[in-house]
Chain A
Amino acid sequence: AQSVTQLDSQVPVFEEAPVELRCNYSSSVSVYLFWYVQYPNQGLQLLLKYLSGSTLVESINGFEAEFNKSQTSFHLRKPSVHISDTAEYFCAVSDGSETSYDKVIFGPGTSLSVIP
């Protein structure tokens, strides 16, 4: 069964500094990988996803994540964070098989706090 590890439970970072949120998953033949963001008192929103093709995927608000199969990682990065990026970030994985249903497994989350 898949599992997801997010190594940092809390990441404080100063405004306009770069940030990396780490995510590792257990190995599988093929996977779909996701990052979701949860702003305070809201539900989760899909930030970006890797299904196949280019290993570097980007979101519309400047985040990017790189799929690294050899290291089974999908770290999330942003070169310059804003106060509005303060939120909880969840890495998620599914097996990406062709069966009718495959569970999406969510990591425990990383709380990103951007300091003015």
Chain B
Amino acid sequence: NAGVTQTPKFRILKIGQSMTLQCTQDMNHNYMYWYRQDPGMGLKLIYYSVGAGITDKGEVPNGYNVSRSTTEDFPLRLELAAPSQTSVYFCASSYSGQGAHGYTFGSGTRLTVV
């Protein structure tokens, strides 16, 4: 049981480049999330999805886009990368919307924009 798988683990982007962070889960969870983690700031929600075809903005969506064409996959797209997007990105999934069963997190993608 792989859980939540994120790729790549590390990436360096130049300012203005674009990339897609991949996230896939094999637990048949309807709810999926993208967070960014910055030192001393905890986790900030970027986007979330309550099921295939349904996505919505979180606290910090600017500069990002998502899609959810299948239950398993929830890619995060960065357009026109900026230094402010240097961060560690975590994808997570959950069985219920209130998180009562807990979130399952991927191991993260460390992104540096130079």
Q: Of the 9-residue stretches B12-20, B71-79, B95-103, which lies at the interface with chain A?
A: B95-103
A115 interface residue, CB < 8 Å from B? no
Which B-chain residue is minimally distant from A101 (CB atoms)? B97
> Known contacts A43-B90, A44-B103, A94-B99: does B108 contact A103 (CB below 8 Å)?
no
Q: How many residues of B contact A (CB 8 A)?
A: 23
Q: How many residues of A contact B (CB 8 A)?
A: 29
In Å, the complex CA distance between A13 and B100 comes to 31
| CB neighbors of B among A5-30 (8 A) | 9
Nearest 6 A/B pairs, CB to CB: A43-B105, A46-B102, A101-B97, A104-B99, A108-B42, A106-B43
In Å, the complex CA distance between A44 and B103 comes to 9
Assess whether B97 is in contact with A100, with CB atoms less than 8 Å apart: yes
| CB neighbors of A among B64-114 (8 A) | 90, 92, 97-100, 102-103, 105-108
Which residues of the other chain, B, contact A42 by a CB distance below 8 angstroms?
107-108
Assess whether B4 is in contact with A43, with CB atoms less than 8 Å apart: yes
In Å, the complex CA distance between A44 and B35 comes to 11
| CB neighbors of B among A58-116 (8 A) | 90, 92, 94-97, 99-104, 106-109
In Å, the complex CA distance between A49 and B101 comes to 9
* Contacts beyond the supplied A43-B107, A44-B92, A109-B42: 16 A-B pairs with Cβ under 8 Å: A9-B40, A32-B99, A36-B103, A41-B107, A44-B103, A90-B42, A94-B98, A94-B100, A96-B98, A101-B97, A101-B98, A102-B99, A103-B45, A104-B99, A106-B35, A109-B40
Which residues of the other chain, A, contact B107 by a CB distance below 8 angstroms?
41-43
Majority SS of interface residues in chain A? loop
Which residues of the other chain, B, contact A51 by a CB distance below 8 angstroms?
100
Which residues of the other chain, B, contact A107 by a CB distance below 8 angstroms?
42
Assess whether A92 is in contact with B99, with CB atoms less than 8 Å apart: yes
Contact of A101 among B31, B40, B90, B106 (CB under 8 A): B31
Which A-chain residue is minimally distant from B48 (CB atoms)? A101
Q: B6 CB to closest chain A CB, in angstroms?
A: 8
